[in-house]
Structure 1
Amino acid sequence: MPRALLAAVLVLAVAAGCGARASAGGFTAGRLNVVTAFYPLQFLSERIGGGTVRVLNLTKPGAEPHDVELNPRQVADVADAGLAVYLSGFQPAVDTAVEQEAKGHSFDVASAVDLLPYTQDSEEDGDKDPHVWLDPVRFATIAGQLGDRLAAADPANAASYRSRARQLQDQLRDLDRTYARSLATCRRHELVTSHSAFNYLATRYGLTQVGITGISPEAEPAPRRLAEVARTARATGTTTIFFETLVSPKVAETIAREVGARTAVLDPLEGLTDPAADYFSVMRANLAALTTALGCTA
């Protein structure tokens, strides 16, 4: 082998070795590598991890996370992580990557709380509803357990992780109290949404979700379902049909025209489109939309 080529190969080998050592044991430059499946888990990890973690989100900002596919680099990131944070049953590609590459260093947030069943009449009957983060109380429980998992992965910073987790739990409980107070005196309680993502929120605060489509927001509703939702909206005096930011509003607009209602955004927080927003700002915007649509007086 020519000397110049041999030298180049040696340089590449040394560089590769340095890169491997830099991320050995799930750390890079002294920070714990945390891979998260989609935005709410990224939010928790960044808030609890602070400056001692390096968070990589597998779902790009503005992307719809349900059917995300992972490229080889992302699968390698899962393998290299000190902790992979995901929600089983929500993203099949992520489930597969964790099972194959991160089984011993992962946290399935579905194991932290009881998940509600998905009950709408469709082929998805019997499945568990994944949208647990829309219940601040359950989300606070997940935050506490994530703090413990980060502490176990990085014992040198365990006290800081647990402290930040407690602070975040307090903020989530404050959010829960605000929701409960604001939604206690509403004239209407039916929540008509284009995507059946809000059962946790509805269950927590005494509302009834009426979803046009199922858990997957891109599913096409059957004509029978459209007719059922329109009848329910008329019977309950619904004034607002909600749609979300990451998918087309056409279905919601169709129902709204038929029953003489308006449309408004209710964000399921599966991903952010505004870089200035975060979990709390979106949840407050959702609350404002709900109190207007449901005629709440508190």
Structure 2
Amino acid sequence: MNSLVRGGALLAALALPLAACSDGGGGTAAGAAPGDGGTEVLAALYPLQYVAEQVGGEHVTVASITPAGVDPHDLELSPAAVAKLDDATVVYLAGFQAALDDALAVTSPAHALDVSEAAGVHTEDDGHEEVGHEDEATSDGAAADDHAGHAHEDGDPHFWLDPNRLAAVATAVADELAAADPDNAGEYAANAERLGTELASLDEELQAGLAQCETRTIVVAHEAYGYLAEAYDLEQVGISGLDPEAEPSPARLAEIGKVVEDKNVTTIFTENLVNPAVAESLAADLGVEVAVLDPLESQVDASRDYPDVMRANLEALRTALGCA
């Protein structure tokens, strides 16, 4: 991946006049409200932005480093965006976005929280390495069963699809904000506790909604749903591996067809930020439906927040899986 944050070239670039953070325009990045005196928080991507906003409340200004509607796998940072990291409180997931990892290595944030430990995430160096998806589905489906729900062990970073893991991150964010702003530590802790309760309720909705289904296999555009699958006893089978841009081989497509037949799959899930052409073509060949399952890497619709999208995902899954 190309980046503007490499070595000496970056340091030279930062000496230039700087524009606004990478929000795609000349204004303030999403969620920020500069000038109100609050702690400035830069979140790597939307789920972390959501947590920071909920935990920080009125005492923080929050912006997403990844602009809305942009695939965070493809993040590149302008010199202006890199400069914003200095003196800010940064909340990120190490190993997921190489450009951000590189930028943090040459800047001096006031506070930097890597949420991977709190979330229980183990990512590969580039955060989206394709790992062995050709072996996930065989003619008898055994290999797919072996991998069901465990993609995170091979570098899946999408922990936020398990609300309980996101709740754990909320506690870590509260601690980091307390270190940056001790006067409001009590409010941060209370907000994290409230958010944790809300996320626990969301988890209960998902557990109940997916408890009794005709099939538990989800065929997805890329393997972004390992944590979701593990949390709710589903079997994930990806057309592509962890890299959403990887082209599936003819053999892989044949394996997917066999899984669809053997597991009575009625739907192939695609995403808002991934070209659906392969999934749509495969679904047409197999005579099944296509639906969107949002991996929540970005906020596509500003009117729908994290719980809204997770509930929409629940309804999409219930329809596809024939849940009672």
TM-score range, shorter chain: 0.7 to 0.9
The whole-number CA distance in structure 1 between the counterparts of 2:194 and 2:292 is: 29
Give the helix-richer structure, 1 or 2: 1
Secondary structure of 1:273's match?
coil
Deviation at 1:145, TM superposition (A): 1.1
C-alpha change, 1:40 and 1:151, in structure 2 (3 Å) is: same
Q: Is the 8 A contact 2:132 2:241 kept in 1?
A: yes
Alignment of 1:240 onto 2:270 = no
Secondary structure of 1:173's match?
helix
| 1:99-120: CA deviation from partner (whole Å, max 9, x where unpaired) | 2214662001112132267854
The whole-number CA distance in structure 2 between the counterparts of 1:89 and 1:156 is: 32
Q: Is the 8 A contact 1:116 1:200 kept in 2?
A: no
Equivalent residue in structure 2 for 1:51, among 39, 53, 58: 58
| 1:155-206: CA deviation from partner (whole Å, max 9, x where unpaired) | 0111111111110000000011111111110110001001111110011110
Q: Give the structure 1 partner of residue 87 of structure 2.
A: 80
Secondary structure of 1:269's match?
coil
Tell which structure's C-alpha radius of gyration is larger.
Answer: 1
**CA-based RMSD:** 2.1
Q: Give the structure 2 partner of residue 133 of structure 1.
A: 160
- The alignment covers a number of residue pairs equal to 271
The whole-number CA distance in structure 1 between the counterparts of 2:57 and 2:236 is: 36
Q: Give the structure 2 partner of residue 14 of structure 1.
A: none
Q: Is the 8 A contact 1:59 1:68 kept in 2?
A: yes
Q: Give the structure 1 partner of residue 231 of structure 2.
A: 204
C-alpha change, 1:193 and 1:43, in structure 2 (3 Å) is: same
Equivalent residue in structure 2 for 1:266, among 293, 309, 312: 293
Q: Give the structure 2 partner of residue 121 of structure 1.
A: 133
Q: Give the structure 2 partner of residue 34 of structure 1.
A: 41
The whole-number CA distance in structure 2 between the counterparts of 1:102 and 1:296 is: 50
Q: Give the structure 2 partner of residue 94 of structure 1.
A: 100
C-alpha change, 1:122 and 1:56, in structure 2 (3 Å) is: farther
The whole-number CA distance in structure 2 between the counterparts of 1:227 and 1:239 is: 16
The aligned amino acid for 1:202 is A
The aligned amino acid for 1:277 is R
5 Å-filtered alignment, 1:147-226, equals 147-226=174-253
Deviation at 1:230, TM superposition (A): 1.4
Deviation at 1:272, TM superposition (A): 1.6
- Which stretch of the first structure deviates more once superposed, 204-213 or 103-112? 103-112
The whole-number CA distance in structure 2 between the counterparts of 1:238 and 1:97 is: 43
C-alpha change, 1:40 and 1:293, in structure 2 (3 Å) is: same
The aligned amino acid for 2:133 is D
The whole-number CA distance in structure 2 between the counterparts of 1:101 and 1:180 is: 42
The whole-number CA distance in structure 2 between the counterparts of 1:199 and 1:127 is: 10
- Which stretch of the first structure deviates more once superposed, 221-230 or 188-197? 221-230
The whole-number CA distance in structure 2 between the counterparts of 1:188 and 1:116 is: 29
Q: Is the 8 A contact 1:119 1:125 kept in 2?
A: no
- Which stretch of the first structure deviates more once superposed, 163-172 or 208-217? 208-217
| 1:6-65: CA deviation from partner (whole Å, max 9, x where unpaired) | xxxxxxxxxxxxxxxxxxxxx954210111111111111111111111112111111111
Secondary structure of 2:218's match?
strand
Query: % of aligned pairs identical?
Result: 46
The runs of 5 or more residues in structure 2 that have no matched partner are 1-33, 124-129, 136-150
Equivalent residue in structure 1 for 2:303, among 272, 276, 282: 276
| 1:103-157: CA deviation from partner (whole Å, max 9, x where unpaired) | 6620011121322678543699974210000001111111111111111111011
Secondary structure of 2:222's match?
coil
Alignment of 1:111 onto 2:117 = yes
The whole-number CA distance in structure 1 between the counterparts of 2:111 and 2:280 is: 44
Q: Give the structure 1 partner of residue 143 of structure 2.
A: none
The whole-number CA distance in structure 2 between the counterparts of 1:31 and 1:65 is: 26
Equivalent residue in structure 1 for 2:312, among 272, 285, 288: 285
**TM-score normalised by structure 2 residue count:** 0.79
